[in-house]
Amino acid sequence: MEKYLLLVLSLFMLSGCSDDLFQKSNTEDELHISAAMSLTNVMDELVESYKKVDPDTKITLNFDSSGKLAQQIQQGAPTDIFLSADQEWMDMLDEQELIASGTRTNFATNELVLIANKNHPFTIDSLNELPSLAINQIAIGDPDSVAAGSYTKEALQQANIWGAPLLDKFIYEKDVHQVLADVQSGSADAGFVYASDMSHVNNVDVILEVDNDLHEDIVYPAGVTSYSEYNKQARDFISFLKSDQGVSILQSYGFNK
């Protein structure tokens, strides 16, 4: 009899809380996107537009140099999507099986430019003229961790001007946005950034477009991390980047298809 009463009581308690036990969760899917610093300006609009397609997915953005982001992913930082400014760091993660198979794809390209403050008193027609310019400091991204810096170093090496006297003039920065800030503030006379970094800037001039033949093609790859819990949602976002709408937004910020 006692066992019977316990059984009835248990059934009654389960019945009373069943609504709570089986209530549909209101938790949103959350994508963590680690994106190269040069994507900072465009990502807000891309995310805003994507939310109209998938309003149930929350997106958290993390910006840094491609190298720093890759190192964070190596250390297991919460990341579902990696958007790199070059192939090297994506290659490294791919080789370490930290990028899910079949998710890697290219979604944008860019160009390297030399910039100066609008008050600059000099002109330049060729990269080979750079060592002879009457300037004291040139800001570049750190080639060891910043993709733009790596492309810059390669271009200067190909032009046979990586060395004295330029090396004494370089200010090595943690990302291209800091390079741009140096030139804007006048703490650097010139700097190397991406063409896309200039799309919404008014007080800086592009004084030279670096010949694309002097460096590897600047291609932005995307990939889903192998440890992501939201593989499908991450794939959907990457597909959006390559859609007509995504491409249109990227192009409006100076990126190429």
Nearest to 254 by CA among 173, 174, 213, 193: 193
pLDDT for position 120: 87
Query: 9 in a domain, yes or no?
Result: no
Query: 206 in a domain, yes or no?
Result: yes
CATH number at residue 153: 3.40.190.10
User: Under a CB-based contact definition with an 8 Å cutoff, are residues 168 and 131 in contact?
Assistant: no
CA distances from 96 to 93, 163, 186 (A): 5, 34, 42
Query: 49 in a domain, yes or no?
Result: yes
pLDDT for position 202: 83
Tell whether 144 and 179 lie within a shared domain. Answer: yes
pLDDT for position 29: 82
Tell whether 123 and 209 lie within a shared domain. Answer: yes
Tell whether 70 and 130 lie within a shared domain. Answer: no
In which domain, by residue range, is 83 found? 29-109+218-252
Tell whether 202 and 233 lie within a shared domain. Answer: no
Tell whether 160 and 36 lie within a shared domain. Answer: no
pLDDT by residue, tens only, the chain of 257 residues: 444 433 333 433 434 433 332 233 345 689 999 999 999 999 999 999 999 999 999 999 999 999 999 999 999 999 999 999 999 999 999 999 999 999 999 999 999 999 999 888 889 999 999 999 999 999 999 999 999 999 999 999 999 999 999 999 999 999 999 999 999 999 999 999 999 999 888 889 999 999 999 999 999 999 999 999 999 999 999 999 999 999 999 999 999 97
pLDDT for position 28: 67
Tell whether 131 and 226 lie within a shared domain. Answer: no
If one counts the domains in the chain, the total is 2
pLDDT for position 25: 34
pLDDT for position 121: 87
Beta strand pairing status for 29-36 and 190-194? unpaired
SS3 labels along the chain: CHHHHHHHHHHHHHHHHHHHHCCCCCCCEEEEEEEEHHHHHHHHHHHHHHHHHCCCEEEEEEEECHHHHHHHHHCCCCCCEEECCCHHHHHHHHHCCCECCCCCEEEEEECEEEEEECCCCCCCCCHHHHHHCCCCCEEEECCCCCHHHHHHHHHHHHCCCCCCCHHHHEEEECCHHHHHHHHHHCCCCEEEEEHHHHCCCCCEEEEEECCHHHCCCEEEEEEEECCCCCHHHHHHHHHHHCCHHHHHHHHHCCCEC
Tell whether 225 and 100 lie within a shared domain. Answer: yes
For CA atoms 142, 148, 150, 153, the dihedral sign is negative
**What value does the CA radius of gyration of the chain take, rounded to a whole number of Å?**
24
pLDDT for position 119: 85
**pTM of the model as a whole:** 0.85
